[in-house]
Amino acid sequence: MADELVHYTVTGGIATITLDSPHNRNALSAQLRRELSAALESARTDDAVRVVQLTHTGPVFCAGMDLKEARGAGSGDQGVNEFPQILDQLWSSPKPVVARLAGPARAGGIGMVAACDIAVAVPEATFAFSEVRIGVVPALISLTVLPRLQARAAHELFLTGEVFDAHRAVEIGLLNACVPAEQLDAKVAGYLKSLSLGGPKALAATKELLSRPRPATPSEGFAAMNELSAGFFASEEGQEGIRAFGQKRKPSWVPAE
């Protein structure tokens, strides 16, 4: 049996999913896609998991689809057909997902970064929507990337395929933060800890809320949002949070140190 290309561990409520295929720059090969999807499903269904960290070994986060496997295949046999499931698992995960990038991302790799809730990279990380330069279209990743990116930047970078750095990625909305390599783990750990303090059901509902279409005016949305808000105030989780606040203790859902 081939060695696994994706590692999955759970510690203190944090599921860490590690891409470990440095020989091909963590490209999205059939084996890596299969194992990554399985790891994301494990994180979703494990009640012990509160938040998810997506990280990597080697100098590159993810180079996108494995072009060696794509060579010569018909449209129905392309590995990209399996990629929507992974992007959707990241985007719709009820548990927040944090991407940790110690190196570059390209094409589909950027699509995964955009699908995560929070993304942090080192200054040495670079990015490029390289699809047009090999005659393909960044179609699937547009569904996760375009909600993040400034419109002008998206037009420029999707059409030119030019490389841009992590500082610009922060400016245009792809990343939350760019920090020196020696601060990367601490920065990511800070996000993971903050996210683990939220109520599991409240976090899931808030993620869903962030993805909803906005009403044309606030007044059109007040009724639905009031129902959602009041329901959570009265819920078991909401009442536990209110009691914990009054008793100056951590709610029951906060993982032990």
pLDDT in tens, 181-193: 999 999 999 999 9
Query: In the chain, what percentage of residues exceed pLDDT 90?
Result: 91
Task: Specify the pLDDT at position 30.
Answer: 93
Q: Which of 70-79, 83-92, 182-191, 210-219 has the lowest mean pLDDT?
A: 70-79
Backbone angles phi, psi at 130, to 5 degrees: -85, 0
Distance (Å, whole) CA 236 – CA 198: 14
Candidates 154, 144, 151, 150; CA nearest to 119 is: 144
Distance (Å, whole) CA 63 – CA 130: 10
The strand ranges marked E within the chain are 6-11, 14-19, 51-56, 97-101, 105-106, 118-121, 126-128, 164-165, 177-178
Please, is 130 exposed, middle or buried when counting C-beta atoms within 10 Å of its C-beta (0-12, 13-18, 19+)?
Answer: middle
CATH level 3 topology of 6-195: 2-enoyl-CoA Hydratase; Chain A, domain 1 (3.90.226)
Contacts of 40 (CB under 8 A, 6+ apart): 17, 52, 86, 89, 90, 93
Task: Specify the pLDDT at position 172.
Answer: 98
Sign of CA dihedral 116, 118, 124, 128: positive
pLDDT in tens, 126-147: 999 999 999 999 999 999 999 9
Query: In the chain, what percentage of residues exceed pLDDT 70?
Result: 96
Q: Which of 1-5, 87-91, 223-227 has the lowest mean pLDDT?
A: 1-5
Task: Specify the pLDDT at position 2.
Answer: 55
Distance (Å, whole) CA 203 – CA 148: 19
Task: Specify the pLDDT at position 67.
Answer: 77
Confidence of residue 78 (pLDDT cuts 50, 70, 90): low
Candidates 62, 61, 63, 56; CA nearest to 20 is: 56
Confidence of residue 1 (pLDDT cuts 50, 70, 90): very low
pLDDT(41) > 70: yes
Phi-psi category of residue 60: left, alpha or beta, with phi > 0 → left and psi -120 to 50 → alpha: beta
Confidence of residue 212 (pLDDT cuts 50, 70, 90): very high
How many Cα atoms occupy the beta-carbon half-sphere of 139 within 13 Å? 7
pLDDT(70) > 90: no
Confidence of residue 68 (pLDDT cuts 50, 70, 90): confident
Q: Any idea where the domains of the chain sit in the sequence?
A: 6-195, 199-247
Q: Which residue has the tokens 């009403």?
A: 215
Mean pLDDT of the chain: 95
Phi-psi category of residue 252: left, alpha or beta, with phi > 0 → left and psi -120 to 50 → alpha: alpha
Candidates 97, 86, 89; CA nearest to 203 is: 97
Element (H, E) at 88: helix 83-92
